[in-house]
Structure 1
Amino acid sequence: MKKLSAMILALLTVFATLTGCASGSSSDKKDNAIVIGVDDKFAPMGFRDKDNNLVGFDIDLAKAAVEKMGKEAKFQPIDWQTKESELSSGRIDLIWNGYTITDKRKEMVLFTKPYLANAQVIATKAGSDIKTIDDLKGKVVGLQTLSSASDALNANPIKDSIKSISEYADNVLALSDLKSGRVDAVIIDEVVLDYYMSQQEGTYKMLDETLAPEEYGVGVKKGNEKLLKELQKALDEMNQDGTAAQISEKWFGEKKVLK
Structure 2
Amino acid sequence: MNTQDIPLIEAEDKDKVRLLRLGKAPAHPLSRAMIRALHDQIRQALADTRINVIVLEGPGHIYCAGHDLKEIGRHRADPDHGRAYLVELFTECSALMQDITLSPKPTIAMVDGIATAGGLQLAAACDLIFASSRASFCLPGVKNGGFCTTPAVAVSRSLSRKHMMEMALSGDTFDADWALSAGLVNRVFPSEQLSAATMEFAQQIASYHSTAIADGKRMLHDQLEMPLDRAYAEATEVMVGHFMDPVRIRAETNC
Give me the TM-score of the superposition, normalised by structure 1: 0.22
Which has the larger Rg?
A: 1
